[in-house]
Amino acid sequence: MRTVIIGGKGHVGTFLAPRLVEAGHDVICITRGQREPYQPHAAWKQVQQVQLDRGAEETAGMFGAKVADLKPDIVIDMICFKLDGARQLVEALRGRVQHFLHCGTLWVHGHSAQVPTAELQPRQPFGDYGIQKAAIEAYLLNEARVSGFPATVLHPGHIVGPGWAPLNPGGHFNPQVFERIARGEELTLPNLGQETVHHVHADDVAQAFMGAIANWSRAAGESFHVVSAQALSLRGYAEAMYAWFGQPARLAFLPWEEWRKTVSEGEAAATWDHIAHSPNASIAKAARLLCYQPRYTSLQAVQESVSWLIANRVIKV
């Protein structure tokens, strides 16, 4: 199979491209050539690199044609954030690819309602990112079911792995939160710490893409959640991290309007985005149809990532 990954050197691509090479795919990776994968792997020597700036090519109306010119059997789109971008690709690839896989997000669901959230529940996204991703999902699944365009949509949770800071128990990305926990200092959480986050290891996201490709007939025209088996409450997450560092949990709680003043504006915005969504998604559909079995629990994924932060002196404990 000739498989093109658009945006293939990021969190997920770091694990997905080597998995594809090992499975015998001829892999072509489209990026702007600015970033390297988070981890080296010998398989990258076999990956053909194509340098394209998607934004510029879309503006010129050329992106779809340039992807089609690569004559892919499979296209994996990791970096589509606007409906127009998805349309350009579908128009150019219709009738020319066996499988088209789009990386979505749990944010298509908006606020959690009945949990664990299932794929069939109504979409009530808020915020431009979630609204656009939901529109892309609706468009692709409609194209699949009405016109037979072979699209699959995978919705990851918070992607975690060695090489970058994971979403922390405060609901934002400042890695110093882990330093405070490691020193046994008090951590203040918003509200009662009962809002949830749902992580997934980047390699488990890669596993799900491989599962979708291997189970084409069950995956085409469908969307799937791709997360760990269980979400975490902020409180449960914090308590587990204190225990991991061998410290007794020292937690305090403040109502949101007071808590937000205890962190930077950027951290408050990130936490609000996460707790307003409070994702808690079911993986039953992916397990049943794609044989998806996450290797990592949320805590194992986070702890591997925090170990990397410590080993690389991003945080000192």
> Which residues 244-283 are close enough to bind ligand NAP by CB under 6 A?
none
Alpha-carbon Rg for the chain, nearest whole angstrom, is 20
What is the contact mask toward ligand NAP in residues 129 to 148, using x (rule: CB under 6 A)?
--------------------
What is d(CA 140, CA 87) in angstroms, rounded to the nearest whole number? 9
Instruction: Give the total of residues touching ligand NAP (CB under 6 A).
Output: 24
Could you tell me the smallest distance in angstroms from the CB atom of residue 113 to ligand NAP? 19
105 near ligand NAP (CB under 6 A)? yes
Q: Which range of residues in 50-58, 169-177, 179-187, 266-274 is near ligand NAP by CB under 6 A?
A: 50-58
Q: What letters, b where the CB count within 10 A reaches 16 and e where it falls short, cover 129-144? A: ebbbbbbbbebbbebb
Could you tell me the smallest distance in angstroms from the CB atom of residue 105 to ligand NAP? 4
72 near ligand NAP (CB under 6 A)? no
Could you tell me the smallest distance in angstroms from the CB atom of residue 127 to ligand NAP? 12
26 near ligand NAP (CB under 6 A)? no
| C-beta of residue 301 within 8 angstroms of C-beta of residue 200 | yes
Closest residue to bound ligand NAP by CB: 10
The runs of H, that is alpha helices, within 245-283 are 256-259, 265-277
What is d(CA 255, CA 263) in angstroms, rounded to the nearest whole number? 13
11 near ligand NAP (CB under 6 A)? yes
Task: Compute the half-sphere exposure of residue 130: CA atoms within 13 Å on the CB side of its CA.
Answer: 17
235 near ligand NAP (CB under 6 A)? no
Residues near ligand NAP (CB under 6 A): 7-13, 30-35, 52-55, 78-79, 103, 105, 156, 158-159
